[in-house]
Amino acid sequence: MSLNAAAPCIRGPASNPQLQSRKFFSFPLACRRRRCIRAAISLSTISSCSSFLARRSRDCIAFSASNDFPMDNSSLVVCFGEMLIDFVPTTNGLSLSEAPAFKKAPGGAPANVAVGIARLGGQSAFIGKVGEDEFGYMLADILKKNNVNSQGMRFDSGARTALAFVTLRNDGEREFMFYRNPSADMLLEEGELDFDIIRKAKIFHYGSISLITEPCKSAHVAAAKAAKDAGVLLSYDPNLRLPLWPSAESAREGILSIWDAADIIKINEEEISFLTRGENPYDDATVHKLFHPNLKLLLVTEGPNGCRYYSKDFNGRVHGLKVEPVDTTGAGDAFVAGLLSQLATDVSLLKDEDRLREALKFANACGALTVTERGAIPALPTKEAVLNALLNVIA
């Protein structure tokens, strides 16, 4: 790539071998402030986990258990990064201070993708950290109810689950105000990673928010390196959120620092303009500057106008579905979920333009249906809903 990106940081520190063999359960089974035990566990399990936790500098709850969802590893998509609570105003077109009420909605781009894939009938897992608080418990339960494997999820008693207040303009577009200083997702450590599930994935998906601060940045690098070394496809959605970065330049450098390691990248027009320092995002020549030699597929989403796709062998456009937008939160994540759910079962789509275009039509429909409801995860569609929407277009 010709954008003077920083050297890819995928070549991170080696993983901790003591942690690779350890199996973790993703939900807090016993907590000081909880009134119930979430699963039956043996005394030996409690003892071994307690001794492990005693050696840690942070109090992260992650007990062992055997009731995680079974996975078909041949089509597993592992999503790494943040999971949080979005507070979406019930009335569009108002500032945060003017909004009369907010709807609480689970979100976080990587978690959205994981749930989106599961809703579509695929196999997904989530790796990340939330607070040992009621919002964290709620998010863990949401993953469980949506059949997302969460054995890689961790809880931190020293930090809260991240919150984001989202302003919706009349056209459904968003502005964000974040509460995460620091939030639990920023404190995920390399030693807490479940490398076993990462290496079993067909696709490892992530964003750039986990690169902003340590220790999560090092955990991100180590996780991506482990996936790459295991032959797992790397899927990257930068998901630009400038207010979270120290500066625009640090955001640009951070996003590009891992650019050349990805096999699949999804960006939008705003991100193209940002990364190319103001060049025309609709010009193919501009987009080609972002194409690196090892990239298999570069996708540009354009909201209701669908998407563009670029590979070494072909490029083109697939039109989207026209809908009445209510809230665009999660639309890009739904698109990614729609595509990855199909690539995970048939990677050869990357080499067949006709079949790839069909997959992108499906992904566009996933994004379109998501904007018709408020919130990200609550609005993610099922496979049946997407197929019905596509049939109605044909009819």
The answer to whether 259 touches 272, Cβ cutoff 8 Å, is no
pLDDT at 172: 59
pLDDT at 163: 96
Q: Distance (Å, rounded) from C-alpha 33 to C-alpha 132?
A: 9
Q: Distance (Å, rounded) from C-alpha 379 to C-alpha 373?
A: 5
pLDDT at 45: 32
Q: Distance (Å, rounded) from C-alpha 185 to C-alpha 105?
A: 17
Would you give the distance in Å from CA 278 to the centre of its chain?
A: 26
pLDDT at 326: 86
Phi, psi dihedral angles at 66 (to 5 degrees): -120, 15
Q: Reading across the β-sheet that carries 174-179, which strands appear in turn?
A: 102-107, 84-89, 163-168, 174-179
pLDDT at 239: 94
In single-letter form, the type of residue at position 382 comes to: T
- pLDDT in single tens digits along all 395 residues of the chain: 545 444 344 433 333 333 333 333 333 333 333 333 233 333 333 333 333 333 333 444 443 333 354 445 589 999 999 999 989 888 878 888 888 999 898 999 999 999 999 999 999 999 999 999 999 999 999 999 999 999 999 999 999 999 999 887 776 566 788 998 899 999 999 999 999 999 999 999 999 999 999 999 999 999 999 999 999 999 999 999 999 999 999 999 999 999 999 999 999 999 999 999 999 999 999 999 999 999 999 999 999 999 999 999 999 999 999 899 888 889 999 999 999 999 999 999 999 999 999 999 999 999 999 999 988 899 999 999 999 999 987 65
